Amino acid sequence: MSDSKPPIAFIGLGAMGFGMATHLVKQGYAVTGFDVWAPTLERFAAAGGLTATTPAAAVADKAFCVCMVATAQQAQSVLLDGPDAAVAALPRGAALLLCSTVPCDYVQSLDRQLRSLGRDDILLVDSPVSGGAARAADGTLSIMAGMADAALERARPLLAEMADPAKLYIVQGGVGAGSNMKMVHQVLAACQILAASEAMGFAARLGLDLARAQEAVLASDAWNWMFEHRTPRMLTQFQPIASAVNIIVKDTKIITAEAQRSGFPVPMTGKAEEGYREAVEKGYGQDDDSSLLRLYTEAGTGEAGESPAKTDEEKLALVVDLLKAINLCAAGESLAFASAVGLDLDQVLDLCVNAAGASTMLKQHGPGFIAALRQGAESKLSKAADGESSLNDVAESLQKALEEAERIKVPLSLGTQALAVFREALQSGTPQRSVNAVVNVWTSPSSQAANMEDAIRPHFFNHGLPESDPDEERDCHWCQIRSFATHKSIPITIVNDAEDDNEVLNPNFRFIDHSIIADDVPVAEDSFRTGCNCADDEDCMYNTCQCLDEMAPDSDEDKYDGSAAALPRRKRFAYHSSGAKAGLLRSRILMSREPIYECHEGCNCSPDCPNRVVERGRTVPLQIFRTDDRGWGVKCPVDIKEGQFVDRYLGEIITSEEADRRRAESTISRRKDVYLFALDKFSDPDSLDPLLAAPPLEVDGEWMSGPTRFINHSCEPNMRIFARVGDHADKHIHDLALFAIRDIPAGEELTFDYVDGLEEMDYDAYDPSKSKDMTVCKCGTKRCRGFLW
């Protein structure tokens, strides 16, 4: 070992870490390794490394520490929180290289923690890596490093030892920028790892020889790095295990969590995450991620009908078209996300085409995507060059592949999502425009929100200053939205990119995050209030929970002797309790108009009780946008699943008399009816409960409400309102909860039927004597009734 090379501490000797550490040993460094797995330490010692039994012992007297553990939680433990953690033992001025794939927020929080502990002398280097175990072992990794200048000067030689000379990327933006660069790269990895299995699964179900299918794809424009490196293990029973499914699950969660926090749509990555969750539920988590092939080869029921693809060449073309389309959408999603987080797009492209996220589609279209991102909305109009496939051509080729997949009953989830992306891109402009225009699907929501933030930034900067206007701050829609506790994680945004339309929200409207009960509205006495006494949260899913006493049973549970002790214990609550559908409304409830009964703050159960879905509130970001012909509308920048709770309809809860008075005062009474919703689910003039026997209360959301106030009507809606009851004493003021009644892809406008369940309205719409006085419906769906009321 050379005396001129400093000793190194290396924490985390997994598949990647072991290769990186042994490479440094071969380069003449004295490397002291730590890992929780004793056999790994024995292997490292046999490879010439030194070993330590604690992180603190590993870093003692070491000027450099490389941390290469699997998760942010593990990093926090070995560096700060766990027994014999490393940071306290690091000498002053040491460089700490965090090479793990972790969220940007975590790296920045680690930097803050070091400062709060008085260890700002430690030079933190945010330096995630990519390239796989083989490249780790030969020192040719791609490394994305963000850091302060002093840390760069100190750490660059060690980074250069572990990286390919052409693949050491110094990312501008300081600590956190390197992790953001890795995150947008992993968008490609997340999509293309699953895409490799989807393409090969499709090939298998088409009856193709997998080795031949592999060869055909590698020789085509559908090539990607992940396909090239995963398919060999698909041909050898998923051996050896090189990268477990759980690893990409972790990376994908980082992407979707950051996307949800920022309100940026990642439909392709979100769909990939669903596939990974399914694999984990099937027990594949510890298996090599090439084993995801089983999701496709073990699904479906076989052939049905005549296939238009007769020859192997025709079938191979379908596989190639499927993978090209997925690769294309993954490339667009990655670069658009990179733009949204402020990265240098040229540097991102250079990294990704030379790393594990590489694909022919990225190489061919990446420069065009970047040009489109910089050009903005004008890129939607650019036509395909002579000889180049148009956006419509790519979509039609993918459509043929999906039609064949449907015929043989094989689910191609990523391909289906890619087609949804193309269809959205085709909604504006000519079908013959350039494929590069597809990137606008991602840019519009986030760029509009950013532009609006920029427009009102001076207003926010003045808040709290002597020159600020208290009335302006109180009445500002943005201030109201940003005051909500959920703003950072699931924001509400407002955009208007409609041409020749400068409309803004009415300044008299006020955003609220809970309904306001008017002073003259009667409420139940405290003595009538009840809650369940369930011993633990799981009990709240069963018919023994008092909150579910009035929940309609799935079957006849009344055939017992009447004693509580004899009541059969059966699940009765409204939601799925486990698996990928946990927390989603069950199909029987979803297709009905039955009320939902939930636990509440007066119950013995915890806030995490599975029967408190609506009470916990909205879990998705929402965007209020300007439609072409129906004023304001609402959409969600992330996918919403069938049965998922979206939000409540909020407003001022008033008496029926007050509602009638407001209708009479409104210049257009029918317009007022758009915002008034009667709480009449439990109204009964013969009820013994005076609160239910009285005329029903109404919710007025015209001047104070949440984002759902702007949701438009549709005769073919994608959501439905359900009455939700917490404390049974408050039935007369039940919640109006909106649930998705089918899967809703990111960016699709959210709608519900304003007159759902009122069949007489359907009949009136076809009666000329009545329809002439009715409000015209503008939903434009195939089943449009023509009128509202």
- Classify residue 173 by burial, with Cβ atoms within 10 Å: 0-12, 13-18, 19+: middle
C-alpha 205/C-alpha 278 separation (Å) is 20
- What are the distances in angstroms from CA 601 to CA 522, 605, 735? 20, 8, 15
The upper half-sphere exposure of residue 203, i.e. CA atoms within 13 Å in the direction of its Cβ, equals 29
Given 3-state DSSP classes, what are the helix, strand and coil percentages for the chain, each rounded to the nearest 5? 45, 15, 40
The residues facing 123 across adjacent strands are: 95
Residue type, 450: A
Backbone φ, ψ for residue 479 (5° rounding): -65, -40
Exposure string of 88-101, with b = 16+ CB inside 10 Å and e = fewer, is ebbeeebbbbbbbb
Structure tokens at 60: 């003692």
C-alpha 787/C-alpha 770 separation (Å) is 10
C-alpha 466/C-alpha 408 separation (Å) is 69
Q: Are 762 and 789 in contact (CB under 8 A)?
A: no
How big is the CA angle at 272 (ends 267 and 273), to the nearest 5 degrees? 95
Backbone φ, ψ for residue 390 (5° rounding): -85, 170
Q: Is 649 a catalytic residue?
A: yes
DSSP character at residue 146: B
Alpha helices in 500-639 (DSSP H): 587-590, 613-616
* 29, 276, 296, 754: the active-site residue: 754
Pairing of strands 141-145, 163-170: parallel
Length of the chain: 789
* 284, 649, 763, 766: the active-site residue: 649
The residues facing 749 across adjacent strands are: 635
Residue type, 636: C
Structure tokens at 789: 């009321």
- Give the chain's radius of gyration (CA, Å): 29
The upper half-sphere exposure of residue 267, i.e. CA atoms within 13 Å in the direction of its Cβ, equals 30
C-alpha 614/C-alpha 633 separation (Å) is 22
Q: Is 169 a catalytic residue?
A: no
Q: Are 625 and 495 in contact (CB under 8 A)?
A: yes
Question: Which stretches of 456-520 are assigned E, i.e. beta strand?
Answer: 492-495, 510-511, 516-517
Q: Are 199 and 293 in contact (CB under 8 A)?
A: no
- What are the distances in angstroms from CA 26 to CA 21, 48, 138, 748? 9, 8, 9, 55
Structure tokens at 596: 């939902």
Question: Helix (H, G, I), strand (E, B), or coil: what is residue 567?
Answer: coil
Q: Longest Cα pair distance anywhere in the chain, in angstroms?
A: 98
Q: Which residues are catalytic?
A: 649, 754
